[in-house]
Structure 1
Amino acid sequence: MSSINRRDFGIAVVATMLLPVTAARAEDLEIHIDNFAFTPAQLAVKVGTTVTWMNRDDIPHTVVCGGKFRSKTLDTDDKFSFTFTAAGEYKYFCSLHPHMTGSVKVE
């Protein structure tokens, strides 16, 4: 090491090790509610991803997944977000229109 002495190099290494480690932020995704359908109906994401449902319909809708999450009634342009912190398959539906279904697979 010609341009830096060992002591300075050691200090630089220790300082780098002490810097806070931040996890890479998972991607945030959006599901649209339009024409009485969730689009996309199936979605695969990584743990830590936040999914936002946006009602683009002129009819109110909800997003319900068993005991995992439940939105308020979403009017036009309202949004509901949920961050998936555990792996698994999350099947959801609109409680006002139960034929509307979708799922998020979290890996």
Structure 2
Amino acid sequence: MQQGCLRLMVAALAFGASAIPAHAATVQIVMENLVISPAETTAKVGDTLELVNKDVFVHTATARNGDFDVTMPPKKTVTYVLKKAGDVDYYCRFHPNMKATLKIEP
């Protein structure tokens, strides 16, 4: 009887380990001194962008293809969950010289 219980526990543990979902990552992008850093970032669908505005100005992360448009108040952090794969060029609507690329993998 003990061997049967042991087999059941091992099977339950093996099933439980395989059923654990992969955790999404948090990808940090910083806007400071009117520059987006890093200028090129890779992430996956489901990952969270942590957009950190270290400037005293309002900034946006505005996708040229219309996928997202996030406003960041001065000295604040905003998060956004990536919903769609593809290469996205984005910029700040208030400071168009601030631009970067986000490669979103499935």
TM-score normalized by the length of structure 1: 0.78
Check whether the contact 1:59–1:75 (CA below 8 A) recurs between aligned residues: yes
Compute the displacement of 1:47 (Å).
3.3
Structure whose residues are more often helix by fraction: 2
Q: What is the CA RMSD across the aligned residues, in angstroms?
A: 2.3
Compute the displacement of 1:39 (Å).
0.8
Bigger Rg, which one: 1
TM-score normalized by the length of structure 2: 0.79
Q: For 1:26-76, what per-residue CA distance to the aligned partner results, in whole angstroms no more than 9, with x for missing partners? A: 32121111111101111112333211111111121111113211113x222
> Is 1:12 the counterpart of 2:9 in the alignment?
yes
User: For the residues of structure 2 that align with 1:101 and 1:90, how far apart are their CA atoms?
Assistant: 11
Identity rate, percent: 26
Structure whose residues are more often strand by fraction: 2
Aligned length: 103
- Stretches of structure 1 lacking an aligned partner (at least 5 in a row): none
- Aligned-partner SS, 2:59: coil
User: For the residues of structure 1 that align with 2:40 and 2:74, how far apart are their CA atoms?
Assistant: 22
- Stretches of structure 2 lacking an aligned partner (at least 5 in a row): none
Compute the displacement of 1:17 (Å).
5.2
